[in-house]
Structure 1
Amino acid sequence: MLKLTYTEGSFYLEYLTQSPEEWVAQRVILAMRVGQILCVEPSTASFLLPVDLPGVDLLRDEVKRDDSKIITLCACDREYIEVTLRGSWLSDSSESVMGVFVTTINSAPNSGFASGVEFFLHKLWQEAQACASVMSE
């Protein structure tokens, strides 16, 4: 499962071995126990990856083989591609820009992704973050 946490100024991507259904159920129970409003709705989430990041071509190949349409890639410009994921959005209101997005991507059999597309996508995102922090220093 991939979990994207959106805050006011950024987001954080995590790879979790738990299923989205289990995670959402636990989150709903927590919200009920503390009396918090929780909206859960189908949605999409997007983020950018540098086109020249090692492994992006492998990701493109995997997305072409995937027929679930949970993940799509779109060229933004010469420097970045946009990764769009379909899943569930959890927040304290349906209008909130801060919240958590969860999804799961089933990798195709014999795709070469022993750990799955989710793990690979998380690693690419981590590499992109590391490159961005080195460039900003």
Structure 2
Amino acid sequence: MLKLTYLNNGFDLEHLTQPLEEWVAFRVILALSVGQHVSVEPSTASFLLPADLPGLNSLAVEAQRLGEDIMTVCACDAEYIEVSLYGTWLAVNSETEEGIFVTNLYYVVEFLLFKLWQAAQVGATVVGE
């Protein structure tokens, strides 16, 4: 399972081994037990990766294999590609831009996406410093 946490200043991506349904059920029960509103709905999430990352060709192949209703990879411009995923959005309400997006793909695809995202973060940190 991939978990993308969207905040007002960016997002974080995690690769979790817990089943998606179990994780969502736990989050809903937690929100209800503390009296917090929770919105759970099917959605899509997107993020950018540098176009020069090694391994992007493998990701494009996997995206074609999975189909457009699960994952798409497309060029934004010469510098970035956009990865869009279909999954579940959890937030305080359905209108907020802050929340958690979770999706369940094949383990190999999840691991590849996670490793590509990590590589992009290392490159961004080195450039940003």
| TM-score band w.r.t. shorter chain | over 0.9
What residue is the counterpart of 1:127 in the other structure? 119
Deviation at 1:131, TM superposition (A): 0.2
The equivalent of 1:110 in structure 2 is none
Where do 4+ consecutive residues of structure 1 move more than 4 Å? none
Corresponding residue SS for 2:88: strand
The aligned amino acid for 2:103 is: T
**Aligned residues between the structures:** 129
Amino acid of the structure 1 residue aligned with 2:116: L
Aligned partners of 2:128 and 2:68: how far apart in 1? 37
Structure 1's unaligned 5+ residue stretches are: 107-114
**Counterpart of 1:77 in structure 2: which amino acid?**
D
In structure 2, what is the Cα distance between the partners aligned to 1:78 and 1:9?
A: 24
SS state of the match for residue 116, structure 1? helix
Partner of 2:85: 85
Q: Which residue of 2 aligns with 1:112?
A: none
**Structure 2: stretches of 5+ with no match in the other structure:** none
Structure 2 residue 62 is the aligned partner of structure 1 residue 62: yes
- After superposition, the C-alpha distances for 1:28-53 in whole angstroms (9 at most, x for unaligned) are 11011101100001111000011110
- CA–CA distance in structure 2, aligned partners of residues 119 and 61 of structure 1: 15
How far off is 1:20 after superposition?
1.3
